[in-house]
């Protein structure tokens, strides 16, 4: 049977790679160190596939058609595109998708009452590009993204995200294959972006989230309301839905926080977390 061989949660932000020089060097080095350690552990886990819990930033899904959950069925993803590469200052590249795997997840979900949307073409942005730049610099591991609406309210509840993640985990473990699957959630933690409070970070909220993750104490995260997250974690904090989904896929697994840095210059509370049995 297939198995989940690694689970990782990280922040994403275009400035992490796009403006490394504006951060305090020791903060940057500690965060990059966390990414490098995740890379080392991910490589050692030898995954055949990375399932991504990520979110769009209204690059792809417009207000005329906004999915709550969408499975990527693309043959490949720009991670980043040439335009994104200029902004994020990382090499443009195409990362291979896993459309057949995604289709199997989609069909299984529809049969089980998880009515995913799907897309054959997604313009990925920092949600894939920045973490994968660190975690799969070789770019040889195919990716299967599950996009959750974290950016255009009303959003699916954290509880529903947890249920979706649990379904994905069950789906993986029920696959009659020997594939080794890594899970990667990106986003959060606190940040205010595009709002009148742009640039604010709330380390207290971030540490609370990380503490729950470290103890596999999921229920308080699952119970968070949109308003509570918006108040304490900002509109960018809504992206912890991706983390909640990942945690749903690996019940009981605990987070080891490799790095946490509230980097004001990158307007993001940035973390790298290894999630393990």
Partner 1 sequence: MSGTSYALNKILTTVARQHVMKDALSDDDLAGHDLNDEERAALKAGDITRLYHLGANPYLIRRVFRSRFPI
Output 194 or 251, the one with its CB closest to partner 1.
194
Which of 43/157 has CB closer to partner 1? 157
265 interacts with partner 1 by CB under 8 A: yes
- Give the contacts of 46 (CB within 8 A, at least 6 positions apart): 5, 180
Query: What would the x/- binding string for partner 1 be over residues 102 to 141, using CB under 8 A?
Result: ----------------------------------------
Which segment (55-63, 94-102, 108-116, 205-213) binds partner 1 by CB under 8 A?
55-63
Nearer to partner 1, 117 or 152 (CB): 152
Side-chain half-sphere exposure of 63, counting CA atoms within 13 A: 3
DSSP string, 73-107: --SEEESS-HHHHHHHTS---EEEB-HHHHHHHHH
With a CB cutoff of 8 Å and minimum separation 6, the contacts of 28 are 20, 261, 263
CA 217 vs CA 74, 165, 237: distances in Å: 34, 16, 18
Q: Is residue 21 at the binding interface for partner 1, with CB under 8 A as the rule?
A: no
Binding residues with partner 1: total (CB under 8 A) = 20
- Report CA-CA distances (Å) from 272 to 10, 71, 76, 184, 260: 4, 24, 25, 11, 7
Identify which range of 29-37, 44-52, 173-181, 264-272 contacts partner 1 by CB under 8 A: 264-272
| Binds partner 1 (CB under 8 A): choice among 91, 153, 220, 251 | 153
Query: Residue 245's closest CA among 267, 271, 275?
Result: 275
Beta carbon of residue 257, minimum distance to partner 1 (angstroms, whole number): 25
In the complex, the residues that contact partner 1 under the rule CB under 8 A are 57-58, 62-64, 83, 151-153, 193-196, 198-199, 230, 235, 264-265, 267
């Amino acid at each position: 049977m297939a198995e989940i061989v690694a689970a990782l949660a990280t922040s994403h932000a275009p400035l992490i790679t796009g403006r490394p020089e504006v951060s305090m060097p020791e903060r940057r080095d500690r965060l990059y160190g966390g990414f490098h350690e995740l890379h080392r552990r991910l490589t050692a886990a030898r995954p055949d596939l990375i399932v991504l819990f990520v979110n769009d930033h209204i690059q792809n899904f417009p207000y005329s058609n906004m999915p709550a959950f969408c499975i990527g069925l693309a043959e490949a993803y720009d991670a980043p595109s040439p335009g994104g590469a200029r902004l994020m200052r990382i090499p443009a590249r195409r990362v291979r998708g896993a459309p057949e795997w995604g289709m199997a997840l989609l069909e299984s979900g529809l049969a089980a009452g998880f009515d995913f949307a799907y897309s054959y073409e997604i313009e990925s942005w920092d949600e894939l590009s920045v973490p994968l730049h660190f975690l799969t610099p070789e770019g040889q591991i195919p990716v299967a993204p599950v996009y959750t609406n974290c950016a255009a309210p009303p959003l699916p509840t954290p509880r529903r995200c947890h249920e979706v993640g649990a379904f994905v985990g069950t789906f993986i473990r029920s696959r009659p294959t020997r594939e080794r699957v890594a899970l990667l959630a990106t986003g959060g933690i606190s940040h205010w972006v595009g709002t009148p409070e742009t640039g604010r970070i709330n380390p207290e909220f971030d540490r609370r989230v990380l503490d729950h993750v470290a103890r596999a104490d999921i229920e308080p995260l699952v119970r968070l309301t949109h308003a509570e997250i918006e108040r304490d974690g900002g509109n960018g904090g809504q992206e912890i839905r991706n983390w909640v989904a990942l945690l749903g896929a690996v019940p009981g697994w605990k987070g080891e926080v490799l790095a946490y840095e509230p980097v004001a210059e990158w307007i993001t509370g940035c973390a790298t977390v290894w999630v393990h049995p």
